[in-house]
Amino acid sequence: MIDFLKQRKLRKQLKEYLHAARHARHMREDIADPKDIEALKAAEANLREIRDTGQGNVEKAVERLSAAADKVYPSVNTSGIRENVEVIIVALAAAMAIRAFFFQPFKIPTGSMQPTLNGITIKAQAEAGFMDRQPLKFVKWLFTGESYKEVRAKASGSIRSFQPGRDAYIVEIGGEPHKVPVYMVDRGWRPDGSLYYKKGDVICGAKVIAGDHILVNKMKYNFMRPERGDIAVFDTKNIEHSQVRADTFYIKRMVGLSGEKIQIQNGRIVADGKMVSEPPVFEKIATDPAYNGGHGNAGRLLDPDAFIQLADDQYLMMGDNTKPSMSLDGRFFGGVRREDFQGPAFFVYWPFRSHWGIVR
């Protein structure tokens, strides 16, 4: 009985050796030296013969096979690297699959959803503090999303031009262009030469707090209808409005459902002639001063009698920050088609501030 078990274990081990050698040969057969390939085949045949007949020196045969396989497919100091590369590739593939079909991250750049969700915010800060120098600066940013940023003058001179760009303003000082992020621009700047900077002076400096980074459930709307009150991300590719970029994503709250006639009266959403009060967040938006006292009349809903009639596949999306200047939303560009939705936001995963956790 013991001999039988030993024989069985030996045959299993030899099978694994042969499988590894065959794999090495198949992986490198087209580029390895033909002599090395023939030597590996011979070593395989020798080991198979010992396995089948039970006669011969197994240890020497295995050493011969291992040496031949190493010549064809070297493993010294590289097997670990190959394994790590394979693990990384699999992990990346899994992450891409999750992103494509299940959950996708988005960041909120603007304040249109405040105070529910934060976009990039700025707080006055004259100069860098103790926590704004590396490596503490990185640690601070990693946990809080806060980072002190400044733009310094590349040359001496006055502001001579001030050109708005897609994500930044180009400010010319002393003949040198300076790229200043939109959220750091001083609205008091004038290109009239009244402000003079020396080379190295701080043009603008502030504490910049990253906007909330969220996860979106890309599966939900495949099985369930969108619901009023959902905070959802949608593609702008089919929105026709001069101020809306066609290659980006917006995040807004769903205030109007397909087929409804939507109006704004006395700061309240009215759907098909009935005031919307459910879910409770609509009551909060209408009464809490943090939300600017209700939905504001603007755009296509400027007049209380004006309305937007949604098609059967459209939904009306609006920002929680209801000041017209803060949210370019459905009041201006109308309904969003269902096919353009990525899904509802469900979790703020960074930064670790007051909004971290489930989106409500």
SS (H, E, C) 156-224: CEEEEEEEECCCEEEEEECCEEEEEEHHHCCCCCCCCCCCEECCCCEEEEEEEECCCEEEEECCHHHHC
Q: Is 331 exposed, middle or buried (0-12, 13-18, 19+ CB in 10 A)?
A: buried
Question: Hey, what CATH topology would domain 213-358 get?
Answer: Umud Fragment, subunit A (2.10.109)
Each residue of 80-104: pLDDT tens digit?
545 555 566 556 556 555 555 678 8
What burial letters (b/e) apply to 225-240, b meaning 16+ CB within 10 Å?
Answer: ebebbbbbbbbbeebe
Q: What is the pLDDT of residue 225?
A: 92
Return the domain boundaries, the chain.
Answer: 2-72, 121-209, 213-358
Q: Tens of pLDDT along 149-207? A: 888 989 998 888 888 877 788 888 888 898 888 888 776 777 777 788 899 988 888 89
Cα-trace Rg, the chain:
32
Tokens of residue 206, six digits: 């502030």
Q: CB of 276 within 8 A of CB of 268?
A: yes
CB 291 within 8 A of CB 280: no
Q: HEC string of 168-186?
A: EEEEEECCEEEEEEHHHCC
pLDDT at 77 over 50: no
